[in-house]
Chain A
C-alpha cells in the first residue's frame, strides 16, 4: 500500500494534523470554545440569580449578610495568587526552566486551590450548616423574608458548589500536569497542555471574581453586616 510519507514528527503530533502549529492552534481554539460554553453554563445560573435578586432585593441583602466577607475576600486573594503561580508555571516552561521549577509552581497552584476549597468547605459551609442556612437539608431561619433568604441560599450553594466542582476538576488536571512535568514532558517547544489548563484555571478564577461581589457584597455592607 502506498505509505504515508511523513516528515519527521516529534511524537507529540497526532495523525489528523499536518503540522505541530496546526495542532497547537486547534487545541487552543478548542479550549477557548469550551470556555465559551462555560460562560453560558455559569451564565444560566448567574442570570437566574440576577432575576431573583431583582425580584427579591431585600431578602437577598438579608441573606448576603449571613456570609462572612473576610472569608470571601481571603478566598478571592487566594485564587488570584493561584492564577499568578499558574501563569508562572507556564512561563517557566516557555523560558526553558528546569522541570522542578515548573513542578514547584504547579504545586503552589494546587496548594492554593486546595486552600480555597478548605476555607470554603471547612469554614464557610460548615458554619452555614450549624447556623441552619442550608435549604432542603437544614434550613431553620425564620426571620424576615425567610422564603427569599432560602432562595438566596439555594443559589449561593448552587453557584459556589458548581464553582467548587470546577475547582476540584482543576486540581485533578493540575495533578496530571504535575506528573507529566515530572516525566520531563514539557520544554520551551512543547507546553500546550499547561497553556490550555491555564486557560481553564484562569476562567474558574474569573467566575469567582464575579461570585464574590454578587454573593457577598450585595446591597453594600454599610447597613451593618460584618
Chain B
C-alpha cells in the first residue's frame, strides 16, 4: 500500500496512520503524551463521572415527586444533592471542555505539534483520576452531606460523613486543573505557528486562555479552603469554630474566591465553542472579533471580583455586600456583549441546522435566560428573597446545563468527525438535541417558579402546594436523561460504523480542519504558515474538497 501523501478522501480511515492507530495496546494509551489521546482519556473519565452525578440527580428527582419524599431518608437526600453537586462541578463541568476539547484542539488550532508540556498533561489526567477515586470512595462508603459548598462549621465540626475523603478528592483534582491551565497559557503564548498572531486566533483559543487564567489564579485558593476544613476535622482545632474565635465566613471567602470564577471556568469554554459553531453554521465571520476576545478576558478578570454575592445572606458585612453587588452587575456586561455578537453573526448568515448548530442556538437562548436571572440575584434586596430557594437552582442550571453542557455537546458533535474520523447520524443527533432542549426546560423552568414561590433548595420534603411543579420538573428530568443517553449510543456506534468523515465535513475554517480526520500524531506534516484572519468564511456554503 502506498504510504505517500495521497488524496485523503479515497483512503479508508483505518489504513492511514493517525493518532488512534499509531500504536496499540493499553500501555500506549496509559503512557501516552499525545494531547489527542489524553483528551480521549479525559473524555471517557468525565463521561463516567457525568453519569455518576446524573444518577444522583435522577434519584433526587424521583424522591421529589412526593411532598414527603418518595424514595429516601432525609439524611440520604442530603448526601444525594451533595454528591450530585461535587461530582458535577469538580469532576464534570470544570474539566469538561478544557480537558477534552481544549486538550485536543489547542495545539491544532494554533498550528503546534503538541502542548508545551505533554508529560505534565498526562500527569494532570492521573491527578484527576486520583482525586476522582478519593471522591468515589467517599460516595461508596456512605457519601457526604455538606453540599458541594462544604460550609463550616457543619462540614468541619458537625457532619458525620466522609468529609475529609471528599475534600481530599477535590483538593487533589484541583492540581489537575492547575496543570492544564499552565500548559494552555504557555502553549498559547509560545507555540503559535508563524503568522498566527493573537488576533488571528480562533475565539475558542481566547476562551481557553481566559479559562486558564482562572484555573491558575483561583484553584490554589480552594485547595487551601479544603485543606483547612480537613485540618479542622482531623485535629479538632477550631479554625472555623466561632466558639474559639474562628470565623465560618472566612471559609466561605476562601471557597467562593475560587468557586465563583469556577462557574466562569465552566461557561467560558462553552462560549468559545459557540463562537466556532455560530460562524461555521452561518458561514459568516464573527461579528466584532476583538470585542468578543476582550470580553473573554474581561469575564476572567471581573469574575474574581464578585464572589461575595454568594454571601449576601450568610452574615457578610452589608458594605462588602454593596461592593460585590455593583461588581456583579458589571460582570454581566461582557457576557451580554458576546450574546449580541453571536446574534449579529447570525444576522444575514447562511444558516443550516445541523446538530451542533441546534445546540449553539439552544445555548444562546438558555444562557441568556440564566444570565438575566442572575441579575435578580446580584441585586441585594431580591437576593434576600431568592437566596436558598429553587430560583438559584434554576438560575445556575440554566447556565450550567442549558449553557455549558449544551455548548459541550455541540462541541463534541462538531469536532467528533475530526476526533474519530467518523460521521455520526445527524438525524438522531438533531432529535436528541430537541429532546434535551424540551427536557431541560421542563425540568428547570418550573424551578424558577418554585423558588419564587418560596420552596427552599436542598430540602428533602416540601409543602403540598408545590407538588405539581415538582412533578413537572421530575418529568422533565426523565426526558432530559433520555436526551443524554441517545448521543452516548449513536456516538459510540459511529466510532465503528459511521461513514468516513474526511478532513472537513462541515466546510469550517481553522487549522484543525486542514488536517486529515483523524489527524496524525504530529498533527501537521509541516507547521503551517498562517496568512488569513480567523473565520474567513465567504458566505457560500462550500466544503473544502
The interface of chain A, by Cβ under 8 A from chain B, is 1-2, 4, 15-18, 22, 25-26, 29-30, 33-34, 36-38, 40-41, 43-45, 47-48, 51-52, 55-56, 59, 135-137, 147-148, 150-151, 154, 158
Contacts and interface: CB of A to CB of B under 8 A. Distances in A.
B221 A26 contact: no
Given A26-B186, A37-B178, A136-B235, 4 more contacts: A15-B114, A16-B107, A29-B186, A52-B245
A63 B118 CA distance: 47
B190 A44 contact: no
Interface in B238-280: 238-239, 243-247, 250, 253-254, 257
A197 B234 CA distance: 33
B112 A16 contact: yes
Interface secondary structure of B, over-half rule: helix
B447 to A, nearest CB: 34
B393 interface: no
A51 B250 contact: yes
B224 interface: yes
Q: Which 10 A-B pairs have the closest CB atoms?
A: A136-B235, A44-B224, A41-B220, A147-B244, A16-B114, A40-B220, A44-B221, A135-B237, A26-B190, A136-B237
Contacts of A158: 228, 231
Interface of B: 3-5, 17, 107, 112-118, 178, 182-183, 185-187, 189-191, 216-221, 223-225, 228, 231, 234-239, 243-247, 250, 253-254, 257, 522, 525, 527
A12 B399 CA distance: 46
7 contacts: A26-B189, A29-B186, A30-B117, A36-B217, A44-B254, A52-B250, A55-B245
B186 A2 contact: no
B216, B219, B224, B238: most-surrounded residue (chain A CB, <10 A): B224
Contacts, number: 114
Given A16-B191, A33-B216, A44-B254, A59 B237 contact: no
B220 A44 contact: yes
Contacts of A45: 224
B217 A154 contact: no
B219 to A, nearest CB: 7
A41 B250 CA distance: 15
Contacts of B4: 2
B217 to A, nearest CB: 5
B518 to A, nearest CB: 16
A158 B228 CA distance: 9
Contacts of A25: 190
Given A22-B191, A137-B235, A151-B246, A43 B116 contact: no
Given A2-B5, A41-B224, A51 B218 contact: no
B185 A33 contact: yes
Nearest to A21: B190
Nearest to A154: B237
